[in-house]
Amino acid sequence: MKNILISTKNFILDTLFPPRCLNCQGEGSYLCDDCQSLIEILESLYCPVCGQKLSAPLDPVRDKFLTGLDSKHLRESTFNYTRFGVCKKCKNKTKLNGVFAATSYQNLLVKKLIIQLKYDPLIKELAKPLANLIITHFQLLTQHLFSKGAGLNQKFVPCPNELDGGFTHENFAKQNLGGFTLIPVPLHRSKLKQRGFNQAEEISKELSKNLKLPVAVNVLIKTKKTLPQTELSLKSRKENIKGVFLVNPVRGPSCLRQNGRRLWRLTSNGVKNENEIKNFTPTLNFGVGASKILLVDDVYTTGSTLEECARVLKEAGAKEIWGVVVAREEYNF
């Protein structure tokens, strides 16, 4: 009944006040196709620590195909770019395996879209076009790596399981992201209540629909209120976010227990009994996808938030963690 009322309300609002593109003001959607095409999507990966542009390593099986290998062998070959998301000199400086960033946060339209998703007047529906930017990044990244690695001057070469049908979201996920679970960066409980939704969770849900990957919410919990990261220096950001995330080994409950004793309890002001959990490391317990994670957020600036989330996830048993964001700051390039 509640869903019917919400749908009816949205229908009436859309009829009386149809969505308008935030860029050109055209009716129909909050980001029209023409304006979305103006956003430059990144075709490469960049080291999350130093910002160095990364190149695809040569794949002898793939390159043989590009010089004459038949389609049967192509289907049997594999090319997974999730092996090289951090440069060699920085591989021991981050808990992340890499970061997928769709575009630059310096783009004024992108910045406007993200701000409208997070701040008044909130437009929750912007999660869909923002997720589409990430999916387009995945597509262009695949094309770029194949063409660059083979020296084909940007000529598109399809992924092994996409020979007949071209690029599809589901095929892409199977080829490159098989076994991964989407986990959104959490908001503190008070912020979630104020906003009404978690923007990272909404983007995760849209990605899940298109890529057919599972999304797990309430796996990470933000236990303390923090200052807005945008107002702080790099050093202060790291201190501000340190120790504020916790892995919830069983999604949903408001407290964590060990040997029958409650270790902490979520409240509107954060976590009670925090000192008792400093030496306690929970383990991931939400299915087979727990060891391979796509950590979703809206913006990557210094990387402090994703790093802290990745740290606690790795301590809980995660093996491979990739950041997935709509945009990242230009100076990280």
* pLDDT score, position 42: 93
Kindly report, residue by residue over 58-90, the tens digit of the pLDDT: 444 444 333 333 333 333 333 344 457 898 889
Taking residues 305-328, what's their average pLDDT? 94
Kindly report, residue by residue over 119-164, the tens digit of the pLDDT: 877 899 999 999 999 999 998 887 765 544 433 233 333 343 333 4
Kindly report, residue by residue over 129-141, the tens digit of the pLDDT: 999 999 999 988 8
Please state the separation of Cα 219 from the chain's center in Å. 15
pTM of this prediction? 0.75
The dihedral region occupied by 157, where left means phi > 0, alpha psi between -120 and 50, and beta the remainder, is: beta
| Greater pLDDT, 255 or 210 | 210
* pLDDT score, position 23: 94
End-to-end alpha-carbon separation of the chain, Å?
Answer: 49
Q: How many whole angstroms separate alpha carbon 157 and alpha carbon 152?
A: 9
DSSP string, 135-165: HHHHHHHHHHHHHHHHT-TT-----GGGTTT
Length in residues, the chain: 333
Kindly report, residue by residue over 286-309, the tens digit of the pLDDT: 543 458 999 999 999 989 999 999
| Greater pLDDT, 241 or 49 | 49
Rg over alpha carbons for the chain, rounded to the nearest Å, is 21
* pLDDT score, position 233: 74
Taking residues 43-58, what's their average pLDDT? 81
Contact between 249 and 262 (Cβ < 8 Å): no
From the number of C-beta atoms within 10 Å of its C-beta (0-12, 13-18, 19+), residue 197 rates as: middle
Residue 29 DSSP label: -
* pLDDT score, position 333: 44
Q: How many whole angstroms separate alpha carbon 29 and alpha carbon 129?
A: 9
Taking residues 179-204, what's their average pLDDT? 94
Contact between 298 and 204 (Cβ < 8 Å): no
Q: How many whole angstroms separate alpha carbon 135 and alpha carbon 34?
A: 17
